Amino acid sequence: MRIVVLGGTGQVGRMVVDRLERRAQAVVVASPTNGVDARTGRGLDAALEYADAVIDATNAPDLSGPAARAFFEETTQRLLDAEQRAGVAHHVVLSIVGADHAGDDGYFAAKGVQEQLVRSGPVAHSILRATQFFDFGRTIAAWNTADGTVRLPARAVQPLAASDVADALVELALGAPSGAAVDLAGPERMLLPEFVHRVLRTDHDPRYVVADDAVEPIGFNIASELLLPREPMRLAPTSLDDWVHAEGRRKLALAR
């Protein structure tokens, strides 16, 4: 199969490209770095020529609600139109758990708009919604540190490994369009402060993480009900402990 990975230079996109190449699929890496811009349409028609499927793993450069919404609206519409012209048979999009009931504001709602365009668009589709990636714990900590302490409300989360998301996207793209969405979450539910604490310990980061229900987390002030998966859902296999060990091995290899 010939599969185009939009956002193939990003965190998940790179893993997707790697997996498809190992399975001897013809892969086109499409991103602005490679001359393909889904927002302006630059390079899009050429990238999609003879493609059987497209995996959209892009992300907006600005994650604030209005900017993200404009990004996902423009890129998704342009992409679907180009796929229709090229006769692409399957559009696979990576979304986020909670996007379908996020209301009108914020990043999650912007992903909801992206999903809606895909659902009502001209190309047969599959939608994968993921919970927060383990690595994202570092970003949450960075956004919410004051005086060496990270303060976060004790909301339940069910994070997962980005590598499991890449595996699921590849599996979807190699199959037939489902015409549906599925939620993918990690194998364990935990509280947000515990999650971030375990990620920081992986990095030997000395910051304290304090549970504080009075704080509204910066950049991550998400209603509790948007953070947990709903049916139909699948559990990803990699636990946070597995990921911590893999990170340790990765850092050792880099240090050698």
Let me know how many helices (H) and strands (E) the chain has, helices first.
8, 12
Question: Which of the ranges 5-13, 192-200, 206-214, 219-227 carries the binding residues for ligand NAP, by CB under 6 A?
Answer: 5-13
CA distances 113 to 95, 117, 156, 228, Å, are 10, 6, 25, 19
Q: Strand 125-130 vs strand 90-96: parallel, antiparallel, or unpaired?
A: parallel
130 makes contact with ligand NAP (CB under 6 A): yes
102 makes contact with ligand NAP (CB under 6 A): no
88 makes contact with ligand NAP (CB under 6 A): no
Q: At residue 49, what is the residue type?
A: E
77 makes contact with ligand NAP (CB under 6 A): no
173 makes contact with ligand NAP (CB under 6 A): no
Q: How many residues does the chain have?
A: 256
Q: What is the Cα–Cα distance from 74 to 7, expressed in whole angstroms?
A: 15
Q: How many residues bind ligand NAP (CB under 6 A)?
A: 26
172 makes contact with ligand NAP (CB under 6 A): no
132 makes contact with ligand NAP (CB under 6 A): yes
Nearest residue to 1 (alpha-carbon basis) of 31, 18, 30, 21: 21
Question: Which of the ranges 4-12, 168-176, 189-197, 243-251 carries the binding residues for ligand NAP, by CB under 6 A?
Answer: 4-12
32 makes contact with ligand NAP (CB under 6 A): yes
Residue 107 tokens, joined: 């990043």
217 makes contact with ligand NAP (CB under 6 A): no
Nearest residue to 111 (alpha-carbon basis) of 128, 123, 125: 128
User: Which residue ranges make up the site for ligand NAP (CB under 6 A)?
Assistant: 6-7, 9-13, 31-33, 36-39, 57-59, 61, 75, 94, 96, 111, 130, 132-133, 136
